[in-house]
Amino acid sequence: MAEQSAGLSPILKQATPVLAARGEGVHIYDEDDRRYLDFTAGIGVTSTGHCHPKVVEAAQRQVGTLIHGQYTTVMHRPLLQLTERLGSVLPEGLDRLFYVNSGSEAVEAALRLARQATGRQNAIVLQGSFHGRTMGAASLTTSGVKIRAGIGPLMPGVVVSPFPYAYRLGMSEEEATHHALTELDYQLATVSSPKDTAAIFVEPVLGEGGYVPAPPAFLRGLRERADKHGILVVADEVQTGFGRTGRFWGLDHSGIRPDIVITAKGLASGFPLSAIAASQELMERAWPGSQGGTYGGNAVACAAALATLDVIQEEGLVENAAQMGERLQKGLRQVADSHPVIGDVRGLGVMIGNEFTAPDGSPDTETATRAHRAAAERGLLLLTCGPHGNIVRMIPPLVVGAEHVDTAVELWAEAVAEADS
């Protein structure tokens, strides 16, 4: 275990035993200069890799120019430029933006926006959803009780509808989609009247809840229902956005257009920044002055985000994520073929989950935990997810190369063999 400070609260849990001294590309180095292959990307954040020279340069330049341009007090150029640039990569028409600092804050802001714009109160979330830890976002989160337990009462007006998690439901993708859409209709008919329903929040790939891509047919069905009832679709692209799934936005795989997009994590390569985007028409229905914050749209974070966009485009990182994701998934499937304890390997782009299942069909958290630990001992940093922690997920930076993918698969094969013996 890495050195700990007695002053750190025992509330905090650390997924790997590493004390990171520096990062470079897909690697993290500890204080003894031991190198780790970082397939966590700081929970999907360091899209351009650790300390990409262009991001470093842009941030350093901005630090010496203007650090804190408070955007509700004075405007600054990095924020204006970023807004232009994001407008060109966002789904058409969703080119009105504002900024806060984290994914959770952006979710809160989207909820606020959706309620004001529709005059309705309820929000529908999908089972297994993760939208954050602040009270509103935690109320929308169903990925595991640890986020909700002991802090209630949570916000009323949240309705949970099934996610088409085919593997867990023991169904085909088509059956799971049909099931989830039928239940969504049922919720709208029995619990949350469309007239009371402001928004449906959706992660294009269920993230903390288990790394399950939402089938395109499900997303299209969801969009149809939202259109029929005047309900807004809020795409939580905090983890799936910025190329992670092999398309720029996770929802690009289904072709549906959301009403509100939330982005954070990969947006600024590690600087705290999140954005909420919608149409002019929708933003006009919200109440001026009701959103904002002291640090939102920080000038250094905006400069880093601009450099992040440059790097993603210049280095073809979205295409790289698609190709490397395919290579990684193929390798992981081969590992799973030799180890039936891995019941499912799934994902989009470089957002891949390995689900561990015991012979009786129950979640095998113990073997997953052992494999996760054995990988870290071999220098491969990973994370777990899912309500039972039995899914080991892989989210390398988008700059990952074939040699890194192949090394990760080799180390993973060894780790799983040790855990499964």
Whether residue 201 contacts residue 123, with contact meaning beta carbons closer than 8 Å, is answered with yes
Whether residue 210 contacts residue 385, with contact meaning beta carbons closer than 8 Å, is answered with yes
Least CB distance from residue 103 to ligand PMP, whole Å? 2
132 binds ligand PMP (CB under 6 A): yes
Least CB distance from residue 207 to ligand PMP, whole Å? 4
Least CB distance from residue 396 to ligand PMP, whole Å? 16
Least CB distance from residue 238 to ligand PMP, whole Å? 4
Phi, psi of 157 (to 5 degrees): 85, 15
Q: Give the three-state DSSP class for 322.
A: helix
Closer to ligand PMP by CB, 60 or 294: give it: 294
Closer to ligand PMP by CB, 23 or 207: give it: 207
Peptide bond into 153 cis (omega under 30): yes
Q: Of residues 108, 236, 259, 355, which one binds ligand PMP by CB under 6 A?
A: 236
108 binds ligand PMP (CB under 6 A): no
Give residues with Cβ within 8 angstroms of 330, minimum separation 6: none
207 binds ligand PMP (CB under 6 A): yes
Residues 241-300 that bind ligand PMP (CB under 6 A): 264
239 binds ligand PMP (CB under 6 A): yes
| Six-digit token string for 216 | 């395109």
Q: Of residues 42, 49, 103, 243, which one binds ligand PMP by CB under 6 A?
A: 103
Give residues with Cβ within 8 angstroms of 299, minimum separation 6: 62, 65, 66, 67, 68, 69, 76, 78, 79
| Six-digit token string for 192 | 């949350």
Rg, C-alpha atoms of the chain: 21
| Six-digit token string for 49 | 């890799």
102 binds ligand PMP (CB under 6 A): yes
Closer to ligand PMP by CB, 207 or 389: give it: 207
342 binds ligand PMP (CB under 6 A): no
Q: Decide: residue 148, CB within 10 A, 0-12 exposed, 13-18 middle, 19+ buried.
A: middle
69 binds ligand PMP (CB under 6 A): no
51 binds ligand PMP (CB under 6 A): no
For 170-204, give one letter per residue: b (16+ CB within 10 A) or e: ebeeeebbbbbbebbeebbeeebeeebbbbbbbbb
393 binds ligand PMP (CB under 6 A): no
For 2-30, give one letter per residue: b (16+ CB within 10 A) or e: eeeeeeeeeeeeeebebebeebebbbbbe
208 binds ligand PMP (CB under 6 A): yes
Give the nearest residue (CB) to ligand PMP.
103
Q: Of residues 36, 39, 130, 165, which one binds ligand PMP by CB under 6 A?
A: 130
Least CB distance from residue 129 to ligand PMP, whole Å? 8
Least CB distance from residue 143 to ligand PMP, whole Å? 9
Closer to ligand PMP by CB, 45 or 226: give it: 45
Closer to ligand PMP by CB, 38 or 203: give it: 203
Closer to ligand PMP by CB, 238 or 419: give it: 238
Measure the CA–CA gap between 138 and 103, rounded to whole angstroms.
12
- Contact residues for ligand PMP, defined by CB under 6 A: 43, 102-104, 107, 130-132, 203, 207-208, 236, 238-239, 264
